[in-house]
Amino acid sequence: MIAKTYIEKAEYRNIWVIGELLSGEIQPVTYELIGAARGLADARQCEVWTVLIGAGAGAGAGSLFAYGTDTVVVVDDSRLDGFQDEIEAKVLVRLIKKYKPEVVLCGATTRGRALIPRVAVMANCGLTADCTGLSIDPENGDLLQTRPAFGGNILATIRCPNHRPQMATVRPRVMKALEPDISRVGRIIREGILDTDADKMKRIIEIFHSREGALNLSDAQVIIAGGRGMKGPEGFRLLKDFAFRVGGAVGASRAAVDSGWIPYAHQVGQTGQTVQAKLYIACGISGQIQHLVGMQSCETIVAIDKDPDTPMMQMADIAIVGDIFEIIPEIMNELAKS
């Protein structure tokens, strides 16, 4: 059975154009898409936003207002040199989740075709490729996406009433750029490239790294704690290796202690120890109140769990969703490189 995702359509607003950059230069398809977006935004009485991602992306941002953009989101980072479609897709998905555009337009260029399907999948919405015409229902914001079908014999108009954002690609030279109007002004929002979870962890561990902390739980600056999700003593051996690498101590939930996977001295919580580490990494611990009372004063809490809705994942400063047995080796590999 396919799970249905219900979204609140009213939360989604504005027409986005994903700008195309080549060696930092804004490509003509960007201006063409802004021209099309302007017409849609006027009909819908909302704004046109252009997203520029890449090394040197900030340079031409201000020039886009004259062509009809109200807001430019710039993600300018030297790590985005060249075309990093995987990273750009992740950045875009995060921006989409944050700002919730109603429509996202991208050029049906080599780059656009590599980038935007990834984004559509990760954002859980559809994508209409190679549109030749775009209009919008001003009442409900449904994008009417016209494109050739059946080998070009008919023109189909595709509507996407249930999901937001609505995503479409348009080939270069199909839409027209507006004549520039230099009196137009707008705003620029700068966003950073977000590190991968492994990078984040690596940085935090570097900050809090302290070999002295390995001695015992109550004095430890870094605690790597495991719960029932560690599956057995073997899982705790992985945590001990991890703790050794980062100079931390190993903690445990009562479920793990009661199962005999690790001695009671490691138990954190109401009937175990109360800890105040700088960094507490909870691995496969759901975070029942009896555990939380023992560690909630830790400075930075990282949770790794396959279930994003556990109390521990909700209270963590960084919640990493996934299988511990994949994520911890990944982090250890990253640490080994440094």
Applying CB under 6 A, which part among 62-70, 97-105, 207-215, 288-296 lies near ligand FAD?
A: 288-296
Tokens 């977000």 belong to 194
The length of the chain is 338
Nearer to ligand FAD (CB atom), residue 213 or residue 229: 229
R_g (Cα) of the chain, nearest Å: 25
Task: Determine which residue in the list 137, 241, 299, 307 makes contact with ligand FAD, applying CB under 6 A.
Answer: 307
The burial class, CB within 10 Å (0-12 / 13-18 / 19+), for 154 is exposed
Applying CB under 6 A, which part among 1-9, 64-72, 91-99, 323-331 lies near ligand FAD?
A: 323-331
Task: Determine which residue in the list 141, 310, 328, 331 makes contact with ligand FAD, applying CB under 6 A.
Answer: 310
Applying CB under 6 A, which part among 32-40, 106-114, 184-192, 279-287 lies near ligand FAD?
A: 279-287
Dist CA 65 CA 181 (whole Å): 8
How many residues in the shown chain lie near ligand FAD by CB under 6 A? 26
Q: Does 309 bind ligand FAD (CB under 6 A)?
A: no
Q: Does 323 bind ligand FAD (CB under 6 A)?
A: yes
Task: Spell out, one character per residue from 223 to 262, where the chain touches ligand FAD: x when CB under 6 A holds, - when not.
Answer: ----xxx-----------------------xxxx------
Report strand pairing: 133-136 vs 48-54: unpaired
The amino acid that residue 98 corresponds to is K
Count CA atoms closer than 13 A to 138's CA, side-chain side: 6
Q: Does 83 bind ligand FAD (CB under 6 A)?
A: no
Dist CA 309 CA 110 (whole Å): 38
Site residues for ligand FAD, 175-234, by CB under 6 A, read 227-229
Task: Determine which residue in the list 51, 305, 316, 320 makes contact with ligand FAD, applying CB under 6 A.
Answer: 305
Nearer to ligand FAD (CB atom), residue 113 or residue 306: 306
Task: Determine which residue in the list 9, 94, 209, 306 makes contact with ligand FAD, applying CB under 6 A.
Answer: 306
Task: Determine which residue in the list 36, 57, 136, 324 makes contact with ligand FAD, applying CB under 6 A.
Answer: 324
Dist CA 272 CA 254 (whole Å): 8
Q: Does 169 bind ligand FAD (CB under 6 A)?
A: no
Name the strands in the sheet holding 48-54, side by side, starting at the edge strand that comes first in the sequence: 128-131, 166-170, 103-107, 15-18, 48-54, 71-76, 187-190
Nearer to ligand FAD (CB atom), residue 181 or residue 326: 326
The burial class, CB within 10 Å (0-12 / 13-18 / 19+), for 278 is middle
Dist CA 106 CA 21 (whole Å): 12
Q: Does 286 bind ligand FAD (CB under 6 A)?
A: yes
Dist CA 204 CA 199 (whole Å): 9
User: Which positions lie near ligand FAD, rule CB under 6 A?
Assistant: 227-229, 253-256, 267, 269-272, 284-286, 288, 290-291, 294, 305-307, 310, 323-325
